[in-house]
């Protein structure tokens, strides 16, 4: 067992590898877990931690798919899909965007979970407002880079 409040994993729906994934994994996990703890997100929740699966696919599909709450381990497993073409571009051109795609995906998933279970999520909503949305095209990626490097 562990005492984490947020754990994620990644699976391939398409054949792809990224250079940056390992470098950002601990940062993303700690960042999202900090928000969960600070926001009291889990207060009153019927689960003790969130397990998020990032699926590397062909589109950004941020509405999470739910599995049953695991009574043995206490987690709620959810999964989202991230566009591997967008991730590939970010991995090659902008590690900050690559990292933020994972953060934004997690925030979107937490917001959906929070609404479903009526959990406190003011801080998570504020962070999502700051981060914005995941780019859906290479042009949007380039605009994101321009806006964040000025």
**For 62-71, what is the mean pLDDT?**
96
pLDDT of residue 14: 84
Query: And the tokens for 25?
Result: 């994994």
How does pLDDT run across 36-50, given as a tens digit for each residue?
999 999 999 999 999
pLDDT of residue 150: 59
**For 51-60, what is the mean pLDDT?**
96
Coil vs helix vs strand at 88: helix
pLDDT of residue 13: 87
How does pLDDT run across 73-88, given as a tens digit for each residue?
999 999 999 999 999 9
pLDDT of residue 147: 87
How does pLDDT run across 112-142, given as a tens digit for each residue?
999 999 999 999 999 999 999 999 999 999 9
Q: What angle do CA 128, 22, 58 make, to 5 degrees?
A: 60
Q: What angle do CA 25, 2, 30 make, to 5 degrees?
A: 30
Query: And the tokens for 20?
Result: 């940056």
Query: In which band, very low, low, confident or very high, does the pLDDT at 23 lie, cut at 50, 70 and 90?
Result: confident
**For 20-35, what is the mean pLDDT?**
89
When the pLDDT of each residue in the chain is averaged and rounded to a whole number, the result is 93
Q: What is the 3-state secondary structure (H, E, C) of 62-87?
A: EEEEECCCCCCCCEEEEEEEEEHHHH
**For 85-102, what is the mean pLDDT?**
94
pLDDT of residue 61: 96
């Amino acid at each position: 067992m562990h005492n984490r409040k947020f754990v994620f994993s990644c699976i391939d729906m398409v054949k792809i590898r990224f250079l940056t994934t390992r470098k950002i994994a601990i940062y993303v996990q700690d960042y999202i877990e900090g928000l969960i703890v600070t926001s009291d997100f889990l207060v009153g929740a019927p689960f003790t931690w969130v397990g998020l699966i990032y699926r590397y696919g062909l589109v950004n599909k941020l509405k999470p798919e739910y599995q049953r709450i695991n009574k043995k381990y206490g987690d709620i497993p959810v999964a989202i899909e991230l566009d591997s073409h967008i991730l590939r571009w970010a991995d090659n051109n902008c590690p900050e965007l690559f990292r933020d795609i994972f953060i934004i995906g997690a925030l979107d998933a937490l917001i959906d979970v929070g609404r479903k279970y009526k959990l406190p999520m003011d801080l998570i909503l504020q962070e999502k407002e700051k981060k914005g949305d995941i780019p859906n095209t290479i042009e949007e990626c380039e605009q994101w880079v321009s806006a964040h490097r000025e």
